[in-house]
Amino acid sequence: MKPFNPRAVELAAPKQQRNWDWRAAANFICGGSGGGLLLYAAFAGFGRGSALAALLAGMTLIATGLTCVWFEIGRPWRALNVYRHIATSWMTREAVVALAVFGCGALAVLTGSVVATLCAGVCGGAFLYSQARILAANKGIPAWRHPASVPLLVATGLAEGAALALAVGALGGAAIGAGLLVAAMILVIVRAWAWQRYRTGLGSTGAPEAALRVLDGFAPRLLWLGTVLPALAVLALLLGMPGQGPVLLLVALLAAGSGAWLKYTLVRRAAYTQGLAIDHIPVRGRGPSGPAAKPGWKMMPDGNRG
């Protein structure tokens, strides 16, 4: 009988993807925050000055993310080819929506039109959704392809955008009412729920053990820095705590910072490939074949691997 070869198991196990680096992660980090900021600010009822600052901040974040991913391409001018596949590619849809974001945003900045501002916000939400679908469309990465990754990325973009919008509005002199504060706190809590739903779903369907270890290591940071502390700060403002501007700036740093950490963790650190698997280990000659094998994957409660 041929001796067991641990090197074969190592080669078959999931590997951390290396194609998308920090620049790709920066596109999701900045683009998601920018899209959420535009959407929240568009319906927040800010005055002219605060609305203008929010528009410029949201478009700057989206542009920064797209610039980062543009520099990741070996031949940057080939990026124009992305517009050729709108029927099948969420990257194409993201690029098309980005044009609408900048067009409506520029019109809103130049004219102060409420309609253009609302259009820019809706386009920002569409941009955020397109980015979430890009990640889920990569079927070779179990941590990305799970259906719960889409609501998670949308939820974190909305939570980040709401916190950033309130900070921009408060520092710009806008009156931040209780309704806006409660809405932001709810979005932060919804993000925590979306994370728990995603992690539970990923554990139920199976995933590489290395990816689950990374996600579990990040979870306490999202709970305390990204959920509990921002929610308590907003609650303190609702109860009459002074210093709204600095407190909302702190909330924005916590919510956006934890969201950026979440997306970097997903795109870079937890992005392990599928790896190889066989339904049963073959045998030469007589005798039964061996059990199924899927190296590097978590064993499920029913005895099967995900």
Going by pLDDT thresholds of 50, 70 and 90, the confidence category of residue 78 is: confident
> Is there a contact between 161 and 112 (Cβ–Cβ < 8 Å)?
no
Average pLDDT over residues 105-127: 97
Q: Annotate 71-104 with b (16+ C-beta within 10 A) or e (fewer).
A: ebeeeeeeeeebeeeeeebbbbbbbbbbebbbeb
> Is there a contact between 268 and 21 (Cβ–Cβ < 8 Å)?
yes
Work out the mean pLDDT of the chain and round it to a whole number: 91
Q: Give burial (CB, 10 Å; 0-12/13-18/19+) of 138.
A: middle
> Is there a contact between 148 and 266 (Cβ–Cβ < 8 Å)?
no
pLDDT of residue 175: 86
Average pLDDT over residues 59-84: 88
Length of the chain: 306
pLDDT of residue 284: 66
Cα(122)–Cα(108) distance, rounded to whole angstroms? Answer: 13
Domains recognised in the chain with CATH numbers: 19-269 (1.20.1630.10)
What pTM does this model have?
0.92
Going by pLDDT thresholds of 50, 70 and 90, the confidence category of residue 6 is: low
Residue 119, pLDDT > 70, answer: yes
Residue 295, pLDDT > 60, answer: yes
- For 49-104, the DSSP string reads HHHHHHHHHHHHHHHHHHHHHHHHSSSGGGGGGGGG-TTT-HHHHHHHHHHHHHHH
Q: Which residues pair with 272 in a beta bridge?
A: 16
Which amino acid is residue 115, in one-letter code?
Answer: V
pLDDT for 227-252, tens place per residue? 999 999 999 999 999 999 999 999 99
Q: Of 132-136, 204-208, 259-263, 274-278, where does mean pLDDT reach its minimum?
A: 274-278
pLDDT of residue 81: 86
